[in-house]
Amino acid sequence: MSSSLRFDRGHTDDLMAFLMSAPSPYHAVASAAARLEKAGFRQVEETAAWDGTSGGKYVLRGGAIVAWYVPEGAGAHTPFRIVGAHTDSPNLRVKPLPDTGAYGWRQVAVEVYGGTLLNTWLDRDLGLAGRISLNDGTHRLVDIDRPLLRVPQLAVHLDRSANPDGLKLDRQKHMQPIWGLGDVEEGDLIRFVAGEAGVDAEDITGWDLMTHPVEAPSYLGRDRELVAGPRMDNLLSVHAATAALAAVAGQPDSEIPYIPVLAAFDHEENGSQSDTGADGPLLGTVLERSVFARGGTYEDRARAFAGTVCLSSDTGHAIHPNYAERHDPTHHPVVNGGPILKVNVNMRYATDGSGRAVFAAACEKAGVPWQTFVSNNAMPCGTTIGPITAARHGIQTVDIGVAILSMHSARELCGADDPHLLATALASFLAG
């Protein structure tokens, strides 16, 4: 493998910038859209009539984005090549009545979102980000990217059992962050957010706000061969897929036999059941409307879907040197070893032998190494959007990703080579 493929510092630097630009799913899709706009894509509204013109287009809905490129001369029955990912990450999210506190401490009432590693959010400087809804029906993005909140851990002197017996956290009592001193005042937090956003508090009718660590991503290790940062699960895949789609859209149309698609969904971490989740109709609706806008019939739609393949890209587990017994004894994915193919015969992952061949061919064409992940038989296997996508839309789906450590931590760890290797493999797949 060439050294240029082995470690593209520019791509990894750009990933870290993307992570910082995306403290919430709403910011993630806005950042992805801005990158696609630079590549010539244009936004289409779901409420508008669509035309069948060629070129790059995208739809935004909440924390989800679906983008696609129609090459000149594509038929109504041309199959799609899809990369699926998700924009959300486990964190602490602000409740509808956020103002709380006790004993002279002002706190923010939060709810735990997703399968968060709670201890990683303790004693960490947190910002606040998300979106606010205004009374005119519009939304405004908010990013307070400075130390604002903190979930303080109980001193070991007051919990002597914490080290020998393990830390035990109550999700309701122990995870409410502090953000100041004084009496609790109703409406205080939203007034503060309104000031930061430059709007009147009276104009805010709703909010989707969440905490995020303010520490920037960084290279790590003797040779800087690792990257530590927040929300790699799964913004690493969103970033790679965005870069891959933009790269393919820059090729001559005659060299693109499929319609390449990016589908980045929200709410994967809590089951994908929402209008912006993979279990909703968003992807299918966009694909169908693309077929019909190009003059296609239901028969064309059926032919296009029958020839479509989706790579569901989500992070997976690298072999952990301190817990090797938790992994399958014959499958040991390593960081900087290239993307992983996820397999589970009980269909917690959607990969089968046919899908394996598609993924292997894309990696071989790109000169990218790849690995295989399966769970230890004695451990429950996780899942992601792959099986949902396959079952809901009837399209062949393959689960892949990048091997990382500390998944669902406030700060995760990956190899510095792997993001570029994934993006290269995804571009090869999308290009056919």
13-48 residue pLDDT tens: 999 999 999 999 999 999 999 999 999 999 999 999
The per-residue pLDDT for 5 is 47
Confidence of residue 411 (pLDDT cuts 50, 70, 90): very high
Cβ of 180: how many Cβ atoms within 10 Å? 15
Q: 116-149 burial, b if ≥16 CB within 10 A, otherwise e?
A: bebebbbebebbbbbbbebeeeeebebbbeeebb
The per-residue pLDDT for 7 is 58
Cβ of 62: how many Cβ atoms within 10 Å? 20
Averaged over 59-63, what is the pLDDT?
A: 98
Averaged over 168-180, what is the pLDDT?
A: 96
Confidence of residue 162 (pLDDT cuts 50, 70, 90): confident
Work out the mean pLDDT of the chain and round it to a whole number: 96
The per-residue pLDDT for 161 is 87
pLDDT in tens, 340-357: 999 999 999 999 999 999
Can you read off the two tokens belonging to residue 421? 């290797």
Confidence of residue 218 (pLDDT cuts 50, 70, 90): very high
The per-residue pLDDT for 8 is 62
Sign of CA dihedral 11, 17, 22, 23: positive
The per-residue pLDDT for 3 is 39
pLDDT in tens, 273-304: 999 999 999 999 999 999 999 999 999 999 99
Percent of residues, the chain, with pLDDT higher than 90: 96
Q: Is residue 125 over pLDDT 50?
A: yes
The per-residue pLDDT for 4 is 42
CA separation for the pair 329, 379 (Å, rounded): 12
| Range with the poorest average pLDDT among 134-148, 154-168, 185-199, 205-219 | 154-168
